[in-house]
Amino acid sequence: MKYRHRPKGRHLPIKDRVSIHERSKEVDGKRFGDFEMDLIVDPDQHAILTLVEKSTSMLLMQKLPFGKQSKLLAKVVRKLLLPYKDSLKTITTDNGPEFAAHKDITKYLGVPVYLADPYCSWQKGAIENTNKLIRQYIPKKESFERYTDKRIMSIQKKLNERPREKLNFSTPNESSSNTFYNFALAG
């Protein structure tokens, strides 16, 4: 007889969540400043935060020494995105409890954080596709303990220097550099 397995933890709804359906239609991957955010997790629940800018596919990654604690994760997001604060428009993520401190991110960076519908990973396709690319370097069942911060940065650099069909075979680094140059001229 087959038994249905229950989820391990109790998943409480995220307080004051802002639905992806409240997000502007302009968030279509054509303007700079719209980010998607996720975690990749190893079998021991160690985590790596991943952020991708939708229009340029620019990747930011950081290993989280404290796992999936939402308040500490919000501080890491702030640190990673602070250099882009003036051009940030939105951040989209999923409903994981690690993103429960979304209001802290909004407060720190002045940008709305939208949460996708449960079990609708396609609503944040840019980060899901990027996480698949990361898994070419960090296999799914492998522990993150042997991955140093330097090695994580090396993976980020390799992916940001990989040409993408979406960018007419430019790299995310080239695409984001051009975008920043155009912002400087316009501003």
Structure token pair of residue 128: 């899901």
* Identity of the highest mean pLDDT range in 18-27, 113-122, 154-163: 154-163
Q: How confident is the model at residue 6 (pLDDT cuts 50, 70, 90)?
A: low
Structure token pair of residue 174: 């080239």
- Rounded to whole angstroms, the Cα distance separating 160 from 72 reads 26
Q: Which residues contact 144 (CB under 8 A, 6 or more apart)?
A: 42, 44, 46, 47, 48, 63, 138
Query: Helix 102-109 crosses helix 70-81 at what angle (to 10 degrees)?
Result: 30
Q: What are phi and psi of 77, to 5 degrees?
A: -60, -45
CA distances from 102 to 65, 81, 113, 145, 146 (A): 19, 14, 6, 27, 29
Give the residue with greater pLDDT, 95 vs 13: 95
Give the residue with greater pLDDT, 152 vs 14: 152
The pLDDT > 90 percentage for the chain reads: 64
Residue 8 has pLDDT above 70, yes or no: no
Mean pLDDT of 19-48: 90
What is the pLDDT, as a whole number, of residue 185? 43
**pLDDT digits 0-9 by tens, 45-76:** 999 999 999 999 999 999 998 888 899 999 99
What is the pLDDT, as a whole number, of residue 7? 53
**pLDDT digits 0-9 by tens, 132-182:** 999 999 999 999 999 999 999 999 999 999 999 999 999 999 998 876 555
- 3-class SS at 62? strand
Mean pLDDT of 9-24: 75
Residue 187 has pLDDT above 50, yes or no: no
Structure token pair of residue 82: 């602070």
CA distances from 172 to 44, 53, 160, 164 (A): 31, 9, 5, 8
What is the pLDDT, as a whole number, of residue 139? 95
Instruction: Please report, for the chain, the start and end positions of each structural domain, with discontinuous segments joined by +.
Output: 20-160
Residue 88's nearest CA partner among 63, 122, 114 is 114
What is the pLDDT, as a whole number, of residue 14? 78
**Residue 168, Cβ neighbours under 10 Å: how many?**
8
CATH class of 20-160: alpha beta
State the pTM of this model. Answer: 0.87
